[in-house]
Amino acid sequence: MSKKLFINASLFSKEQTGSVEFQISYLTNRVLKLTDHLKWHGKDYSSQRGLWKILGKRKRLLSYLSQTNLASYENLINKLNIRKLKIR
């Protein structure tokens, strides 16, 4: 249910739900919800693990997007107000 609401409220159309940009924005929305949850429930270790998994997936998608389409990557991180990836 919440994914349908997110699709309607997001900047993407229903045809773009499989795109990397949509997946990153959806994961960012879930990260925000989980961080808010963890502010109230600090010892919920199952949610912490889920948050770490979501952050890892988002990081991998951001890395892929930065390698394939740098302009779209920079536009997306500015739109979502997230940090750039660290380059090693």
pLDDT (tens digit, 9 = 90+) per residue, 4-39?
555 555 566 666 788 999 999 999 999 999 999 999
pTM exceeds 0.75, yes or no: yes
- Does residue 52 belong to any structural domain of this protein? yes
* Averaged pLDDT score across all residues of the chain: 88
Return the CATH number at 67: 1.10.287.10
- Does residue 7 belong to any structural domain of this protein? no
**Burial class for 11, CB neighbours closer than 10 Å (0-12, 13-18, 19+):** exposed
- Counting the structural domains of the chain, the total is 1
CB atoms within 10 A of CB 10: 15
